[in-house]
C-alpha cells in the first residue's frame, strides 16, 4: 500500500462518527459515544431513534413492571417516560468488558425533569451487541439508588 492510500484511509477514519469508527475492537469508546447519542435522541423527544439503538429483539428490564420486549414496545416505554416528565437522561459508563461482538457495560444514570432538577439517580447493567455496523443495546436492566418514596 502506498502512502496516498494510507492517508486516504486515515482521512476516511477521521470523518466517520465515533460510534462507527471505534468498531467492535474498541467498545468502550463506541459505547460511550452511543450513550451520548441515546441521551441526545432522548433529549429531543425522539423515542423512535432511542428504540432504534436497541437490537431488533432488544429487551428492557425496568423497575416495577415486567420485561419490555422488542423495538416497538421499547419505543412506547421511552415515549411514556418522556410524557411522564423525564426530559433528559444522562448515562455515565463505569466499565465495559469487551467480548468480541458483545460487550457488557455497567454505569450510572441520572434522570432530569423539565426544570433541570434531578428526578432519579441509579445504576444499570447493559448487554450490548455489535449488529449492523453499530453497538446496540440488547438487554438493559437498571434500578434507582434512591430509597422507595412513600408519598
* Set of cell numbers at residue 14: 477521521
Alpha-carbon Rg of the chain, whole angstroms? 17
Residue 81 binds its own copies, judged by CB under 8 A: no
Closest to its own copies by CB, 21 or 131: 131
With H, G, I as helix, E, B as strand and everything else as coil, classify residue 24.
coil
Residue 127 binds its own copies, judged by CB under 8 A: yes
CB of 151 to its own copies, least distance (A): 6
Kindly state the number of chain residues that form the binding site for its own copies, as judged by CB under 8 A.
30
Closest to its own copies by CB, 21 or 104: 104
Count other C-beta atoms under 10 Å from residue 151's C-beta. 2
* Burial class (CB within 10 angstroms; exposed 0-12, middle 13-18, buried 19+) of 110: middle
Residues that bind its own copies (CB under 8 A): 59, 61-67, 97, 99-100, 102, 104, 106, 123-125, 127, 139, 141-151
Amino acid at each position: 500500500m502506498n502512502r496516498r492510500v494510507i492517508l486516504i484511509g486515515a482521512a476516511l477514519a477521521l470523518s466517520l462518527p465515533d460510534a462507527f469508527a471505534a468498531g467492535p475492537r474498541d467498545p468502550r469508546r463506541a459505547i460511550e459515544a452511543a450513550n451520548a447519542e441515546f441521551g441526545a435522541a432522548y433529549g429531543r423527544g425522539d423515542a423512535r431513534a432511542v428504540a432504534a439503538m436497541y437490537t431488533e429483539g432488544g429487551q428492557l428490564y425496568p423497575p416495577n413492571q415486567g420485561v419490555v420486549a422488542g423495538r416497538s414496545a421499547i419505543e412506547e416505554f421511552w415515549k411514556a417516560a418522556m410524557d411522564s416528565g423525564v426530559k433528559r437522561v444522562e448515562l455515565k459508563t463505569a466499565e465495559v468488558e469487551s467480548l468480541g461482538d458483545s460487550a457488557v457495560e455497567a454505569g450510572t444514570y441520572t434522570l432530569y425533569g423539565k426544570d433541570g432538577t434531578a428526578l432519579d439517580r441509579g445504576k444499570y447493567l447493559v448487554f450490548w451487541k455489535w449488529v449492523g455496523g453499530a453497538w446496540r443495546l440488547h438487554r438493559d436492566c437498571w434500578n434507582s439508588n434512591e430509597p422507595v418514596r412513600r408519598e
